[in-house]
Structure 1
Amino acid sequence: MDFVFNIAKGRAAELYWRVKNSDPANSALLIVALAVANLEADTVLRDKDTLADVLSGSTDEVTNSGYARKVLTAADLAALTPDDVNDRMDLDIPDQTWTAVQSGTNWSKLLICYRPGAASPDSAVIPLTAHDFTITPDGSNIVAQIDAAGFYRAA
């Protein structure tokens, strides 16, 4: 993980739990790819409180053909289980694949975000974590392999 957004510090596990338990119904985790060009510094991004805030500065979401935001619902998520032996909480999501992503926009980061409902605008979507993910699309599949420990650890 590159960083946790300030708005999500202390909240990521709770928001993950809400998606896993469909509370509210249609809540989800979103995976959003950010472009290399015009990407704001991590020190600027971590202060953003919504996905709309992230995308309102110079930072842009990628626009490649073959790219779409990934939506992870309760069925996609592992059970929320504390690691009592190591006194921590790891949150995991499955590896993600985008098929035949065409060239155009180079990728820099993946964001994991919490979306409270299916029709929620970006102004209601809370960014949780940012992960460096530098890719130059060339028409092949893009696979985001999530660390074995997961995308987030609270210790």
Structure 2
Amino acid sequence: MADFTFNIALGRVAELYWRVKNSDPANSALLVVALAATGVETDAVLRDKDTLADVVAGTTNEATNVGYARKVLAAADLAAYAPDDVNDRTDLDIPDQTWTAVQTSPGAWAKLLICYRPATGSADNAVIPLTAHDFPEVPSGSDIVAQINAAGFYRASPPA
């Protein structure tokens, strides 16, 4: 298992982040979604999923522990979108996420997804999964804090 970009989002992550940061459309957001460890499909299977509904349609399920809820990141939550012209890349970051007093049942988590939601109330079949990050976590009733990556959750750079 490893971190990856979903095929549907290849070449699009930076643009969709920019759209949320610039409120285009006004109620777009990034979602942080935890996947349960039990039944999680392989990265090769998951990366071919085109919507969040597709991700959880097989044996993969979203976490349901008490204390867990999807995190919604709106424009004000996101760092400025600024290309790094010196290093010829764009690093995208989100703030660390905290879930409070996450209960042990029904079990462990395997991954965190960053997804693009086009509008408030969008059904999961309209939510685009962007990236997946290994996040093996066993809830114990205490807080869970996620830092996706110190450098950011996504790096756009020219081909080698």
- Report the TM range for the smaller structure's normalisation: over 0.9
Q: Map of 1:113-152 to 2, 5 A cutoff? A: 113-152=115-154
TM-score if structure 1 supplies the norm length? 0.98
1:75 corresponding residue in structure 2: 76
Please state whether the residue corresponding to 2:145 is helix, strand or coil.
strand
Residues 30-56 of structure 1: CA deviation (Å, up to 9, x unaligned): 000001100000000000000000000
Gaps of 5+ in 2: none
| Residues 1-155 of structure 1: pairs in structure 2 closer than 5 A | 2-104=3-105, 105-155=107-157
Look up the SS of the partner of 1:149 in the other structure: coil
Q: CA shift at 1:146, angstroms?
A: 3.0
CA distance in 2, matches of 1:32, 1:22: 21
Task: Give the distance between the partners of 1:7 and 1:136, measured in 2 at CA.
Answer: 29
Deviation at 1:148, TM superposition (A): 2.2
**SS of structure 2 residue aligned to 1:53:** helix
TM-score, L = length of structure 2 = 0.95
How many residues were matched structurally?
Answer: 155
Is the partner of 1:138 in helix, strand or coil? coil
Distance in structure 1 (CA, Å) of the matches to 2:61 and 2:10: 23
Q: Partner letter of residue 117 of structure 2?
A: R
Distance 1:138 1:65 in 2: 11
Deviating runs (4+, > 3 A) in structure 1? none
Letter in 2 for 1:148: A
Q: Do 2:14 and 2:92's aligned partners in 1 also have CA atoms closer than 8 Å?
A: yes
In the TM superposition, what whole-angstrom CA distance separates every residue of 1:83-126 from its partner, at most 9, and x where no partner exists? 00010110000000000000012100000000000010000000
Identity %: 75
Classify the secondary structure of the residue corresponding to 1:108. strand
Tell me, in whole angstroms, the C-alpha distance in 2 between the residues paired with 1:119 and 1:136: 30
State the distance in 2 between where 1:50 and 1:89 align: 24
Provide the C-alpha distance between the structure 2 equivalents of 1:76 and 1:69, rounded to a whole number of angstroms. Answer: 15
**What is the identity, as a one-letter code, of the residue corresponding to 1:127?**
P
Q: What is the identity, as a one-letter code, of the residue corresponding to 2:119?
A: G
